[in-house]
């Protein structure tokens, strides 16, 4: 009976992510624009502006610089959606991370295929960004296994203590590199949501219409998954832990917005150096703590 209930809940979570994921991601993107505008003393666009933008992109005629860029972008979206569905179903975190990385690879390949100076530079910088945040993404399943004895995400919701109690430095390292995954300052090397760097939309410069709309939808799905991983550190068998997870996710969202509007973009060497040092030092200390605990 319990296995049947667990399976039913997993399917509900998957369907909710597939249906509501892009809507929630769109709202997060719209609220982020509004918060950014308020921090800069502006009124800002309406919260639903991302939806208006994507709707307009889909209304345009199909145009692409080659015959494969749409395929690459659609595949990247598919990988991101499957990764999120597996995560919210409580599946293997290693596979989730692998699918997220594969999605990033297809995004890079799509930019390379455009054969444009700005797209090429954006693709190269996106590779560097992936190298910056990938170590902590690969170490997150290690932290989960050391604490729960399993790589499955649903192993955290049967614990009496949240994952963050045993892996606080893993959590801080993940928060540190989140701007890179979200493509925000100070690690927005490949592209930017704001016009404050020389590339501006480097990675997606040669994408338009349906292709760019699919990229935006993929970003909506990904942002839900990224903040879902934050919630994973807080959720336990207690019902109130879900409320705590939502509160922490909101705080992290506001903190990321503050960092994005406070810090200038750093060079790629600083991005790699700081991300690797923070990840390796914090995770090594945390694993030593777990070993001697």
> DSSP assignment of 161-199, as one string?
S-HHHH-HHHHHHHHHHHHHHHT-TTS--S--SSS-SSS
Tokens of 44: 């800002």
Q: Which residues pair with 92 in a beta bridge?
A: 152
For tokens 């692998």, name the residue. Answer: 98
Determine if residue 91 is left, alpha or beta; phi over 0 gives left, psi from -120 to 50 gives alpha, anything else beta.
beta
Closest CA to 199 of 118, 107, 110, 128: 118
Task: Provide the pLDDT for residue 29.
Answer: 94
CA 174 to chain centre: 11
Closest CA to 232 of 135, 290, 133, 166: 166
Sign of CA dihedral 162, 163, 167, 170: negative
CA dist., res. 76 & res. 216, Å (int): 12
Task: Provide the pLDDT for residue 3.
Answer: 46
Tokens of 76: 């990247």
pLDDT string in tens for the chain (293-residue length):
344 445 677 888 899 999 999 999 999 999 999 998 898 888 888 999 999 999 999 998 777 777 888 899 999 999 999 999 999 999 999 999 999 999 999 999 998 888 888 888 888 888 999 999 999 999 999 999 999 989 999 888 888 889 999 999 999 999 999 999 998 888 888 776 665 555 567 778 788 888 889 999 999 999 999 999 999 999 988 889 999 999 999 999 999 999 988 888 888 899 999 999 999 999 999 999 888 76
Contacts of 11 (CB under 8 A, 6+ apart): 89
Domain boundaries, the chain: 2-292
Task: Provide the pLDDT for residue 4.
Answer: 46
Task: Provide the pLDDT for residue 61.
Answer: 79
- Give pTM, 2 decimals: 0.92
């Amino acid at each position: 009976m319990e296995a049947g209930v667990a399976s039913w809940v997993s399917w509900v979570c998957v369907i909710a992510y597939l249906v509501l994921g892009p809507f929630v991601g769109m709202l997060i993107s719209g609220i982020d624009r509004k918060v950014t505008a308020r921090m800069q003393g502006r009124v800002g666009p309406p919260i639903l502006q991302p939806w208006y933008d994507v709707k307009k992109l889909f209304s345009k005629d199909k145009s692409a610089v080659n015959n494969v860029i749409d395929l690459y972008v659609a595949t990247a979206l598919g990988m991101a959606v499957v990764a999120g569905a597996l995560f919210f179903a409580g599946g293997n975190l290693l596979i989730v991370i692998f699918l997220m990385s594969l999605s990033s690879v297809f995004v890079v390949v799509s930019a390379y295929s455009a054969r444009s100076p700005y797209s090429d530079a954006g693709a190269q910088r996106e590779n560097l960004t992936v190298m910056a945040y990938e170590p902590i993404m690969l170490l997150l399943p290690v932290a989960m296994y050391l604490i729960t004895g399993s790589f499955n995400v649903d192993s955290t919701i049967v614990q009496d203590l949240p994952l963050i109690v045993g892996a606080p430095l893993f959590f801080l390292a993940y928060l540190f590199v989140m701007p890179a995954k979200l493509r925000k300052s100070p690690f927005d090397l490949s592209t930017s949501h704001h016009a404050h760097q020389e590339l501006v939309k480097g990675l997606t410069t040669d994408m338009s219409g349906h292709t760019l709309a699919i990229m935006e939808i993929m970003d909506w799905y990904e942002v839900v998954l990224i903040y879902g991983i934050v919630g994973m550190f807080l959720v336990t068998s207690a019902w109130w832990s879900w409320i705590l997870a939502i509160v922490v996710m909101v705080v992290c969202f506001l903190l990321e917005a503050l960092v994005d509007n406070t810090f200038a973009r750093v060079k790629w060497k600083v991005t790699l150096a700081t991300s690797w040092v923070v990840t390796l030092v914090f995770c090594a200390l945390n694993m030593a703590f777990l070993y001697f605990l």
